[in-house]
Amino acid sequence: MSRRCELTGTGPMSGWNSSHANNKTKRRYLPNLHDVTLQSEVLGRGVKLRITTHALRSVDHRGGLDVFLAKAKDEKLSPAALKIKKEIARAQAANAQAAETQAASA
């Protein structure tokens, strides 16, 4: 299992430990990943993702998973998140078309 956020692409970074004697040794800073289930309003179901706490706050700030994925760049998304983004886009297009035909018949 990779240590990479599925929504933002955040991964491990490298840096240095510094002792009291100022000795330097290499270290890795791992992202704060959590397994969460986010609700998609368009799909009407929950979606399990492994994301950072920063990404979780960003999803809440933007107004939900559907809006976040619509604005997200495809390069940063994992294959699973990209698949969900395409599902949401298809469902929104189908909902818009259904609403348009309903308005035309009324």
Give the side-chain half-sphere CA count within 13 A for 4. 11
CA-angle at 84, arms to 66 and 73, nearest 5°:
70
What does the alpha-carbon distance between residue 17 and residue 25 come to, in Å, rounded to a whole number? 5
Q: How confident is the model at residue 4 (pLDDT cuts 50, 70, 90)?
A: very high
CATH architecture of the region 13-105: Roll (2.30)
Percent of the chain with pLDDT over 90: 87
Tell me how long the chain is. 106
pLDDT tens profile 85-94: 999 999 999 9
Q: What is the pTM of this model?
A: 0.85
The answer to whether the beta carbons of residues 89 and 69 sit under 8 Å apart is no
Domain residue ranges in the chain: 13-105
Instruction: Indicate the SS3 state at residue 90.
Output: helix
- Average pLDDT in the 59-72 region? 96
